Amino acid sequence: MFMTISAVACLNKKMSISVIIPYYNESETILKTLRSIACQSYTPDEVLLIDSGSTDKTSLLIDEWIKTNKMNQYRNIYSGMMSPSSSINKGIKNSKNKLIAYMDCGLEIPKNWLMSNYKLLNKAESDIVSTVIYTAGKSIIDQSFISQTYGYQNKTVCLPGSLINKKVFNKIGYLIESVRAGYDIDFVNKLKKSNIKRVVNRDIALKYYNFNYCQTFLSGFKKVYSYSLSGWKTKGDIKPAIYISMFFLFLISMYLESYYLLILYLLTRGFMIPFYKSNYNILMLLPHRVIFNCITGMIIEISRVIAYSNIFRMKSSEG
């Protein structure tokens, strides 16, 4: 049954949502993101775009779009050279409404994103509604990194796309400051520890416009490395232990010249982990995918171990 115009107007009046979008050098996709927000079935009365120190023309494009389309409810806030987590926190602190909707750039956003999340928030009597993100990858390299991290052709619950009652931040605090990754895991762990109800809206699936993770092996290495530098700040994240264990399994197999351990490593890294993370996708059985998964697996482990080693070295020098 379709809602009447008066019912929609009443619902919109009650919602009062502040949308927060951090960005850094997003000139290729920022206009798509802005149009997606503007085309929502519910028009938010506040949209905060937080510049994390962009060096391209993203900020200029935003200012021009706001002026051309007379979007007075949109604010472009320069925050200096900040991490995504710090930029999100700045947006939350500058927001005027009780409901916060967080979204990343570079994602296809369904038109009913805000409306659907709001309805579920009320129906489930929850303080936070999250969505899922569909990861498929654009090239075989991109797909292999995705299969090792989020899962190939998988729908993973994510923090981007969430609608959150502002009182949640008053209770458990803001996101970890100055990190590129892991702040979502830490935040979710805090939700669980504080018994805050979180529901998932599986009717809303976000998708990437372009590459899901990376375009080349080198860019994948750099991304994993930069993400890993702040990994130690995330409580409850077992990925560091898993990756280090896999790396040492590989080293031991080479040192002992044990083909059995090497085969175990290759099966685990090239097939078992991607197969499990990709929700038992049969495509992970294809030989070329197994080969690429092995290569990306080793790249991920090497880049993480180097990052963790640098963290340990820096902490030792400080101590």
What is the DSSP secondary-structure string of 191-246?
HHHTT--EEEEEEEEEEESS-SS-SSHHHHHHHHHHHHTTGGG-TT--HHHHHHHH
pLDDT in tens, 16-74: 899 999 999 999 999 999 999 999 999 899 999 999 999 999 999 999 999 999 999 99
Once rounded to an integer, what is the mean pLDDT over residues 118-126? 95
Tokens (6 digits) for 25: 């050098």
Q: Are 154 and 134 in contact (CB under 8 A)?
A: yes
- Going along the chain from its start, the domains and CATH numbers come out as 11-208 (3.90.550.10), 217-318 (no CATH)
Longest dimension (CA), the chain: 74
What radius of gyration, in Å, describes the C-alpha atoms of the chain? 21
Predicted local distance difference test score (pLDDT) of residue 232: 61
Once rounded to an integer, what is the mean pLDDT over residues 91-109? 95
Q: pTM of the full predicted structure? A: 0.85
Tokens (6 digits) for 144: 């292999």
Residue 109 identity? I
CA 257 – CA 229 distance, rounded (Å): 32
CA 101 – CA 31 distance, rounded (Å): 19
Predicted local distance difference test score (pLDDT) of residue 234: 64
Name residue, tokens 């938010």: 44
Once rounded to an integer, what is the mean pLDDT over residues 201-228? 94
Predicted local distance difference test score (pLDDT) of residue 230: 74
State the helix-helix crossing angle for 183-193 and 84-94, rounded to 10 degrees: 60
